[in-house]
């Protein structure tokens, strides 16, 4: 039986309508990896299934709901270069999924176009998430000609005033112009990809815009529908904005939203809806479900490798070591071992960011965190 990870479950929602497969090498590796994930091998004979490459530490917006507002980010000049993509070839050759983002705005990178031109050589499912403000003609054309599979565009307000307020200085008009341009280029070259998805941050001050989101994705051909993310506070004062603590109010609105989406044939990925046995309240339970260090390889903008998207534990640097050596080096092994043996990884004990952690505890953990990721330090 093939093991399904959280990414598979998310993407399957899309692929059931329009199937997409990576190359045979990547599919075979994914199959092998799923077995090793189940047995939680400390030394993996399969390669990572998902490679995340965070191209930069910068972002051009200052969204009101973003944890970046509460942390100072070191090393703002760090950048992944096209040469780094070459160095990553050994893991990219076999990766089923390549993501070009983690916690910043990928399109702000001055290397974005040459990187997109290089990444298309790997027959993977490539995705990126963007606020869309920098999606100009050159970038859109590079996304289309390189067959980038998915683009997630974050937006939770659908007029200029609200957009500017929630998305920290961005322009809704610019966003619309950019999406229109991308759709035009896709049409001109008769391409279905990149397939678009809207990412909607659900808070008590955005919940009223859910219906607008449905209209938006229909109007602008977002074939992958809407991803709804629950907001978690990074400062205690924002607790009243967390939907999970206002669930009696939110639940009927969300049920109504789901029904409307179903009638309009719009796909949804609801971050609060996960299988029943996921998201236990206790940390050990959540860690026992998580397979991140067994399936993912995450590269920061200065070439460091961390064993999961949340982690600040450095496993190596691709500019000094071969990525496949890092994948099974002592630090990676130790991180995997500490997913089952005590003491558990410090990162896992404070983990606030994955789908295995109960939404009731995400904010409680994030609000206490002094550092997150490898280089976000809480502002004093």
Q: Which spans of this chain sit near ligand SF4 (rule: CB under 6 A)?
A: 59, 61-63, 66, 68, 104-105, 131, 154, 168, 286-287, 290, 292-293, 308, 310-311, 345, 347-348, 351, 354
Minimum CB distance to ligand SF4, residue 59 (Å): 3
- Measured distance CA(330)–CA(341) in Å, rounded: 15
Minimum CB distance to ligand SF4, residue 269 (Å): 17
**Cα distances (Å, whole numbers) of residue 46 to 39, 99, 294, 346:** 13, 19, 9, 26
- Measured distance CA(98)–CA(200) in Å, rounded: 22
For residues 168 and 225, which CB has a smaller minimum distance to ligand SF4 in the complex? 168
For residues 87 and 143, which CB has a smaller minimum distance to ligand SF4 in the complex? 143
**Backbone dihedral region of 265: left (phi > 0), alpha (psi from -120 to 50 degrees) or beta?**
left
Q: How many CB atoms lie within 10 A of CB 129?
A: 21
For residues 115 and 308, which CB has a smaller minimum distance to ligand SF4 in the complex? 308
- Measured distance CA(262)–CA(59) in Å, rounded: 34
Burial 303-322 (b: 16+ CB within 10 A, else e): bbbbbbbbbbbebbbbeebe
Minimum CB distance to ligand SF4, residue 357 (Å): 7
For residues 57 and 302, which CB has a smaller minimum distance to ligand SF4 in the complex? 57
**Cα distances (Å, whole numbers) of residue 222 to 77, 195, 350:** 33, 7, 35
For residues 146 and 311, which CB has a smaller minimum distance to ligand SF4 in the complex? 311
**Cα distances (Å, whole numbers) of residue 1 to 32, 35, 214, 303, 355:** 11, 8, 36, 35, 22
- Measured distance CA(234)–CA(378) in Å, rounded: 10
- The DSSP bridge pattern shows strands 304-306 and 296-299 to be antiparallel
Tokens of 278: 């996921």
For residues 82 and 280, which CB has a smaller minimum distance to ligand SF4 in the complex? 280
- Measured distance CA(356)–CA(60) in Å, rounded: 30
For residues 87 and 151, which CB has a smaller minimum distance to ligand SF4 in the complex? 151
Minimum CB distance to ligand SF4, residue 19 (Å): 28
- Measured distance CA(326)–CA(17) in Å, rounded: 37
- Measured distance CA(102)–CA(130) in Å, rounded: 10
For residues 155 and 268, which CB has a smaller minimum distance to ligand SF4 in the complex? 155
Phi and psi at 71, nearest 5°, equal -130, 145
Minimum CB distance to ligand SF4, residue 345 (Å): 6
Minimum CB distance to ligand SF4, residue 348 (Å): 3
User: Which residue in 51, 7, 54, 64 sits closest to 376, CA to CA?
Assistant: 54
Minimum CB distance to ligand SF4, residue 121 (Å): 28
Minimum CB distance to ligand SF4, residue 368 (Å): 15
User: Which residue in 241, 334, 240 sits closest to 293, CA to CA?
Assistant: 334
Minimum CB distance to ligand SF4, residue 168 (Å): 6
For residues 46 and 154, which CB has a smaller minimum distance to ligand SF4 in the complex? 154
Minimum CB distance to ligand SF4, residue 72 (Å): 14
**Cα distances (Å, whole numbers) of residue 196 to 182, 243, 369:** 10, 26, 33
For residues 63 and 87, which CB has a smaller minimum distance to ligand SF4 in the complex? 63
- Measured distance CA(193)–CA(19) in Å, rounded: 12
């Amino acid at each position: 039986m093939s093991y399904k990870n959280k990414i598979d479950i998310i993407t399957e929602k899309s692929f059931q309508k329009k199937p997409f497969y990576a190359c045979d090498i990547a599919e075979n590796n994914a199959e092998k990896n799923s077995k090793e994930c189940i047995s939680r091998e400390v030394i993996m004979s399969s390669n990572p299934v998902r490679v995340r490459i965070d191209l930069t530490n910068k972002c051009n917006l200052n969204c009101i709901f973003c944890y970046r507002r509460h942390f100072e980010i070191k090393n703002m000049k760090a950048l992944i270069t096209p040469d780094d993509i070459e160095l990553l070839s050994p893991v990219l050759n076999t990766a089923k999924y390549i993501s070009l983002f983690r916690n910043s705005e990928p399109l702000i990178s001055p290397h974005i176009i040459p990187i997109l031109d290089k990444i298309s050589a790997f027959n993977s499912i490539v995705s990126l998430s963007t606020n869309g403000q920098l999606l100009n003609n050159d970038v859109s054309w590079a996304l289309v000609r390189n067959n980038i599979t998915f683009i997630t565009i974050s937006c939770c307000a659908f007029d200029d005033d609200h957009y500017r307020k929630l998305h920290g200085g961005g322009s809704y008009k610019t966003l619309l112009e950019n999406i229109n341009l991308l759709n035009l280029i896709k049409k001109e070259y008769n391409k279905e990809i990149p397939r678009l998805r809207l990412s909607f941050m659900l808070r008590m001050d955005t919940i009223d815009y859910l219906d607008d989101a449905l209209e938006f994705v229909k109007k602008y051909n977002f074939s992958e529908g809407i991803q709804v993310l629950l907001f978690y506070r990074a400062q205690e004062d924002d607790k009243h904005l967390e939907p999970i603590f206002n669930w009696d109010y939110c639940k009927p609105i969300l049920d109504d939203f789901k029904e409307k989406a179903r009638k309009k044939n719009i796909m949804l990925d609801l971050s609060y809806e996960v299988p029943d046995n996921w998201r236990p309240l206790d940390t050990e339970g959540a860690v026992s479900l998580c397979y991140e260090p067994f399936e993912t390889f995450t590269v920061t903008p200065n070439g460091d490798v961390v064993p999961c998207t949340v982690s600040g534990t450095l496993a190596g640097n691709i500019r000094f070591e071969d990525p496949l050596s890092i994948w099974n080096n002592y630090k990676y092994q130790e991180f995997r071992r500490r997913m089952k043996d005590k003491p558990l990884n410090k990162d896992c004990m404070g983990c606030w960011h994955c789908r295995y952690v109960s939404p009731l505890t995400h904010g409680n953990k994030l609000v206490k965190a002094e550092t997150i990721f490898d280089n976000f330090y809480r502002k004093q």
